[in-house]
Amino acid sequence: MAVHAAPPSPGGPDETPEAVAARVTGRSVTGRRRLSAGVTEVTLAAGGSVIVKHGEEARAVRAEAAGLRWLAEAGAVPVPAVRGEEAYWLVTDRVSPGEPTAEAAERFGRDLAALHASGAAAFGAPPPGGPREAYIGRAPMRDVPGAEWPRWYAEHRVLPYLRRAVDAGTVGPAEARPVEEVCGRLPELAGPPEPPARLHGDLWGADGRAWLIDPAAHGGHRETDLAMLRLFGCPGLDRILGAYRQAAPLAEGWRDRIGLHQLFPLLVHTVLFGRGYAGQALAAARSALRA
């Protein structure tokens, strides 16, 4: 007796990007182009295309969709519109790449300041409708609200990833001491108190007119987004920061706190990618202690 495999369930992990795009948009599909293992550009009939992303966890899809909507609500920086989301799939508008220009960098700096100023309910507040158990890249990230940034940053952004790195043997117990010292001294290292900012949370860079994609959005300290731009390299960063500071001046000593704010993403990368980032994380901790 012949056994026929059941067709993939709608929205299930085994469905094709083309089927998801057709169902979400209500239009037939004429082509596809794989951009990465989990990201596909799907061309629609009558022109236009969408980006279809596959998430390994349904909550990761929910978190990204909620983050994009929350960032878009600020009306500050362009964000690709969410066409639809399903259990393991997110469909958004396609963003056309462009060349970096001085004007685009300065506009992005002003727009990013406006995004941050749109605020959040608390440090660690997730986007409305987003799960508290979210992600940054492929690493779990808990969005637990807190009233005071230093304590929240230590408990929910630095120490969880340090513990994971130590448990995995990527960072030795003795090596972890500078990071632990930073956490203990955060109230004095953090600078003047600031209200919670609406963060993209995984800000890498910009080209052409900057668009915000792949967010790990949450309420946080605005200097964290800026430190992440410097960490991973961003075209026209000096112009971005100059325009940002004109629109929203930064507290005195912000440059000395760059290492403090880079500690979180560097520890995330240590957990995800291993020993190569551990040295940078420990150097960031020592830099914060010298500030």
202 is an active site residue: yes
Catalytic member of 93, 111, 143, 202: 202
At residue 139, φ and ψ (nearest 5 deg) are -95, 135
Check if the beta carbon of residue 268 is closer than 8 Å to that of residue 240.
no
Active-site residue set: 202
